[in-house]
Chains A and B, each alone.
Chain A
């Protein structure tokens, strides 16, 4: 009797999540454990790297290798790990503040390098851990924070479009309220050879209670994923930010490229001697 060789719940650590009841991140955690079970990856074959924020607590809740890093620095940490240990399946988890504000530059260059990582950005359009300030994906007129009583007045960061422009080779958007499809997307993202970006709409019901209504607003993309950047860009341009599905997938050479060694370690050491 078996429905899967490895059970999803075996990937959960004994640490109890302290996310607020109703938080979308629970569904992302469930999707990750289900995807790992489906792919039959052993715990020691997986590393989960994060920055700072509510969603960045995720590595503690998964029984695999994990590193809870510095704010916005999950992607460079994960890049270093993947270069040193290419055999590991490296997942990166974080939120919209961590990934698109302080970590924004790392996001661009991780997309550009096309290193074989899966980046799961849980977007609730608010800084939750610091009690509800506007993030880069918050609407410019959102005024429910003392920090921005008239809204930020700044246009929203467009994660999927920016990932496409920066060179990510797999771009999808999921929703925590649809864990079945989210799991499928995550499996596709992990299998994709190259940088896969999974933008997850994950409501924060504590600081953005109106996001309970997202289940009425999300909709599937009508077209299949494209391997044409221009077609994918057109689709994202026409999208209201609530479209779900894989937008773009293309196979390009991975970073780092393999080169012939041009000098021995001993030669290099000799050159550096003073």
Chain B
């Protein structure tokens, strides 16, 4: 497990502000990627990213309901306590390609869900607040369920015949 946390998260409100940002950014990114894949005619991967966004919506809504009870701190975008450039659960924009396959997209999603789980686990292990430890452990468990789900999807994908996507009019013509 790589170090995803740059400092202790000491209160439930601070933790929920992080969780809310992480879940919302992940959903927004999946949706953005889905729309982008539609523009570039990779409908299979677009459908998958839309589905992942919908799955993420449910989790983000759950975190939002929970956060409703607290006054969350305002955190500058660069002050969130994850070490990754984006939130740990977000697909890095540079990691996708318009010809990517469903399997590649699922592997990427799995990678990010594991990072989300690791982030919550590291919060639980490092926070001195028993309340934060408890809620972070619980959310790591929820991410664990997503990881299991994605592994099942990937196993099913492995049985399918994967034809490499081709572009008959490629944009790049390296001489």
Most chain A beta-carbon contacts within 10 A, residue among B36, B86, B96, B171: B36
Chain B: number of interface residues, binned into ranges: 35 or more
The CA of A179 and the CA of B86, in the complex, are separated in Å by: 7
Which of A3, A16, A132, A180 is B17 in contact with, Cβ under 8 Å?
Answer: A3
Binary interface profile of B, 139-175, with partner A (CB < 8 Å = 1, else 0)?
0000000000000000000000000000000011111
Cβ of A1 within 8 Å of any chain B Cβ, yes or no, is yes
Which of A3, A18, A209 is B73 in contact with, Cβ under 8 Å?
Answer: A3
B171–A20 CB distance below 8 A: yes
Cβ of A205 within 8 Å of any chain B Cβ, yes or no, is yes
A18–B39 CB distance below 8 A: yes
Q: Which of A23-31, A89-97, A227-235 contacts B (4 or more CB under 8 A)?
A: A23-31
Which of B93, B97, B175 is A149 in contact with, Cβ under 8 Å?
Answer: B175
Which of B73, B98, B174 is A20 in contact with, Cβ under 8 Å?
Answer: B98
CB distance from B123 to the nearest CB of A (A): 17
Q: How many residues of A contact B (CB 8 A)?
A: 42
Cβ of A21 within 8 Å of any chain B Cβ, yes or no, is yes
Which of B33, B78, B94, B175 is A183 in contact with, Cβ under 8 Å?
Answer: B78
Which of B86, B98, B174 is A21 in contact with, Cβ under 8 Å?
Answer: B98
**Which residues from B are CB-within-8-Å of A177?**
85, 92, 94
A21–B71 CB distance below 8 A: no
A26–B93 CB distance below 8 A: yes
Please give me the residue from chain A that is nearest to B16 by CB atom: A1
Please give me the residue from chain B that is nearest to A186 by CB atom: B77
Given contacts A180-B85, A205-B94, A212-B94, contact A16 B73 (CB under 8 A): no
Given contacts A3-B17, A34-B77, A178-B85, contact A16 B94 (CB under 8 A): no
Cβ of B32 within 8 Å of any chain A Cβ, yes or no, is yes
Which of B39, B42, B74, B85 is A16 in contact with, Cβ under 8 Å?
Answer: B39
B85–A207 CB distance below 8 A: no
B17–A203 CB distance below 8 A: no
**Which residues from B are CB-within-8-Å of A183?**
77-78
Binary interface profile of B, 87-111, with partner A (CB < 8 Å = 1, else 0)?
0000011111110100000000000
The CA of A91 and the CA of B1, in the complex, are separated in Å by: 41
Binary interface profile of A, 9-49, with partner B (CB < 8 Å = 1, else 0)?
10000001111111110110000001100100000000000
**Which residues from B are CB-within-8-Å of A132?**
171-173
A sample of 17 more A-B contacts (CB under 8 A), given A17-B36, A177-B85, is A1-B70, A3-B72, A17-B32, A17-B39, A18-B39, A20-B40, A20-B171, A21-B37, A21-B96, A23-B93, A26-B32, A132-B173, A183-B78, A184-B76, A184-B77, A184-B78, A212-B94
Using a CB–CB cutoff of 8 Å, the interface residues on chain B facing chain A are 17, 20-21, 28, 32-33, 35-40, 42, 67-68, 70-78, 80, 85-86, 92-98, 100, 171-175
